[in-house]
Structure 1
Amino acid sequence: MVRAGASQRKIMLLALLPFVIWVSAFELVPIGRMLMMSFQDSDGQGFTLGHYVKGLSGPIYVQALTNSLRIALLSSVIAIFVALFCAYAITRYTTRMRDTLLMLTNMIGNFAGVPLAFAFMILMGNNGVFTIIAREFGFDSFGAFDLYSELGLTLIYVYFQVPLAVMLLYPAYYGIREEWREAAAVLGASAYRFWRHIGIPMLLPSIVGTFGMLFANALGAYATAYALTGSIYNLLSVRISALVSGDIFPNFELGSALAVILAAIMLSAILLNEWMSRLSRRRGL
């Protein structure tokens, strides 16, 4: 019996080997190489912290980091606010309607990158469909809207952030038991007081955890922003790409240092999500 168990474990470990090789080749090795390059000087020989100093003090890189953090923060806050109401509304429908709405939400969430940027250009660009219609009917304020600005980027980020937030927040509402609502109503509590003292506190770990995921998702977004603005608007992900492949004289070491800084911020947001998820599970959500 013991031999059979040991043999089975060996077979399972052997079956896991391709996955380990895959993760090592495409995750661990590139990350290790990136960390090594971020501490190398321009000759690739000596050790230096100069790339991190330049990445955290150079005006163009500080601006890129600030712009990325601002758009990620703003789009995440807006997405959380919208998703709170949308996710709750979905729970009020029948099972068949819920499944349909969740399927559509999942499809919308996967519509991102270059196709999403192109769709917004067609609809809301300088000569987009909505822009031309607005001009024809005299809505000059809409015609003055610049899709290729920070406001336009934020709008697009919100578009693909809301479906993700809905999918993450939707299960949390089922942690609020119907008995709690009934007990609160029997005791004379209004709907506002129920959500203020019971509903929102119970949802708070899920809200904060979801915010961490949204923040990391927006911070690492590249394809949509680059397809829309190119290098016109300074973002950290776009700046890293320019240092690695876009410039005439690439600077892999500095690009690696900026990538490590970006990864550290994203990892912090993901760890926050994990911590809040554990807290949520302890509370029964």
Structure 2
Amino acid sequence: MRSNTGKLFALLCLLPFALFFFAFQLAPLLWVMINSVRTGDGWGLGNFSEIFGSPFYLQAIRYSLEISVWSSLIGLAIAILGSYSLRQVDSKLRDFVMAFANMTSNFAGVPLAFAFIIILGFNGAITLLLKQAGIIEDFNLYSKTGLIILYTYFQIPLGVMLLYPAFDALREDWRESAALLGASQWAFWRHIGIPVLTPALLGTFVILLANALGAYATVYSLTTGNFNVVPIRIAGLVSGDVFLDPNMASALAMVLVGLMSIITLAHQWLLRRSYHVQKR
């Protein structure tokens, strides 16, 4: 009797969360799914046909993927080095860096865009210094390369916070045992370190990719909506900057959902494969 009462109480406590999840996660997704197949003539896949038949929308998808993948890979590489290095430093410095990473991970939108304009814009401080030193001839922050640098900036703190706990799985006695058996540093990382960290690395990459694919405020603030990426196109179709078409916006949103679903499935497949390799 007491067990049934406890289960009922747990279900009642879970009910507000379930309602919140349905209202703000599932219901909007269902609304977007339904409206993505609505057209001016009724129901169908006309919106998707227009997206995949339009060079303009295909360019937006390509730019979004290129910027997201490259910024995620670069951010992940820097986050790996940063997380590993934090394990080797004094605890006070480590706590300060983690607090700073937590703060800068929320530094986005208009303030971040303004900061980068001051630093790396056409007349930015660092841009002018590099030009005077003869290191660069020109740099366009508002191009695809500039956006990759901008996206990488806010990917690094998030990557550090996600990867730092993963290094707890690497025990120091494993390294010592490998060294006693004559294994080099490369051999240790190849056969022990990287396989142990693989699930965390893949999971962090997927989160960084999702973070970049859905970024809107920063790129809009920097380019005033003139750069062709999917979130900008969705916002333009919803707000009616050029023409109002929320159904097309819903279809573009479902394309993003589809891309993330494919990436997540690939992530799960790689995790299972990594797990089977480790068991062997």
Q: TM-score, normalised by structure 1?
A: 0.87
Are 2:115 and 1:119 equivalent residues in the alignment?
yes
Once residues 54 and 171 of structure 1 are traced to their aligned partners in structure 2, the CA distance between those partners, rounded to angstroms, is 45
Can you give the 5+ residue segments of structure 2 that lack an aligned partner in the other structure?
Answer: none
Are 2:85 and 1:89 equivalent residues in the alignment?
yes
Are 2:186 and 1:192 equivalent residues in the alignment?
yes
Once residues 7 and 195 of structure 2 are traced to their aligned partners in structure 1, the CA distance between those partners, rounded to angstroms, is 44
Is the CA contact (8 Å cut-off) linking 2:195 and 2:274 kept in structure 1?
A: no
Question: Any idea what the Cα deviations from partners look like across 1:99-122, whole Å, max 9, x if unmatched?
Answer: 222111111111112211111112
- Structure 1 residue 39: deviation in Å? 0.8
Q: CA distance change for structure 1 residues 281 and 175 in 2, over 3 Å: closer, same or farther?
A: farther
Is the CA contact (8 Å cut-off) linking 2:37 and 2:247 kept in structure 1?
A: yes
Question: Any idea what the Cα deviations from partners look like across 1:247-275, whole Å, max 9, x if unmatched?
Answer: 34311111101101102222343455567
- Structure 1 residue 277: deviation in Å? 6.9
- SS of 2:43's partner is coil
Are 2:254 and 1:260 equivalent residues in the alignment?
yes
Runs of 4+ that moved beyond 4 A: 132-135, 140-143, 270-284
Once residues 108 and 262 of structure 2 are traced to their aligned partners in structure 1, the CA distance between those partners, rounded to angstroms, is 24
* Cα RMSD, aligned residues only: 2.5
Are 2:13 and 1:19 equivalent residues in the alignment?
no
Are 2:223 and 1:229 equivalent residues in the alignment?
yes
Q: Give percent identity, aligned residues only.
A: 44
Q: CA distance change for structure 1 residues 114 and 281 in 2, over 3 Å: closer, same or farther?
A: farther
Once residues 148 and 77 of structure 1 are traced to their aligned partners in structure 2, the CA distance between those partners, rounded to angstroms, is 20
- SS of 1:13's partner is helix
Structure 1 counterpart of 2:146: 152
Once residues 113 and 280 of structure 1 are traced to their aligned partners in structure 2, the CA distance between those partners, rounded to angstroms, is 37
Q: TM-score, normalised by structure 2?
A: 0.89
Structure 1 counterpart of 2:164: 170
Question: Any idea what the Cα deviations from partners look like across 1:183-212, whole Å, max 9, x if unmatched?
Answer: 111122222222223222222222122111
Is the CA contact (8 Å cut-off) linking 1:83 and 1:162 kept in structure 2?
A: yes
Deviation larger for 104-113 or 202-211 = 202-211
Residue correspondence of structure 1 range 105-144 to structure 2 within 5 A: 105-134=101-130, 138-139=132-133, 142=136, 144=138
Once residues 250 and 179 of structure 1 are traced to their aligned partners in structure 2, the CA distance between those partners, rounded to angstroms, is 62
Q: CA distance change for structure 1 residues 140 and 186 in 2, over 3 Å: closer, same or farther?
A: closer
Is the CA contact (8 Å cut-off) linking 2:64 and 2:229 kept in structure 1?
A: yes
Can you give the 5+ residue segments of structure 1 that lack an aligned partner in the other structure?
Answer: none
Once residues 208 and 254 of structure 2 are traced to their aligned partners in structure 1, the CA distance between those partners, rounded to angstroms, is 19
Is the CA contact (8 Å cut-off) linking 1:86 and 1:166 kept in structure 2?
A: yes
Equivalent position to 1:62, from 44, 58, 63: 58
Is the CA contact (8 Å cut-off) linking 1:209 and 1:272 kept in structure 2?
A: no
Q: CA distance change for structure 1 residues 246 and 134 in 2, over 3 Å: closer, same or farther?
A: farther
- Which amino acid in 2 is paired with 1:20? A
Equivalent position to 1:209, from 203, 208, 231: 203
- SS of 2:107's partner is coil
Equivalent position to 2:70, from 59, 71, 74: 74
Q: CA distance change for structure 1 residues 41 and 18 in 2, over 3 Å: closer, same or farther?
A: same
Once residues 20 and 209 of structure 1 are traced to their aligned partners in structure 2, the CA distance between those partners, rounded to angstroms, is 25
Is the CA contact (8 Å cut-off) linking 1:38 and 1:51 kept in structure 2?
A: yes
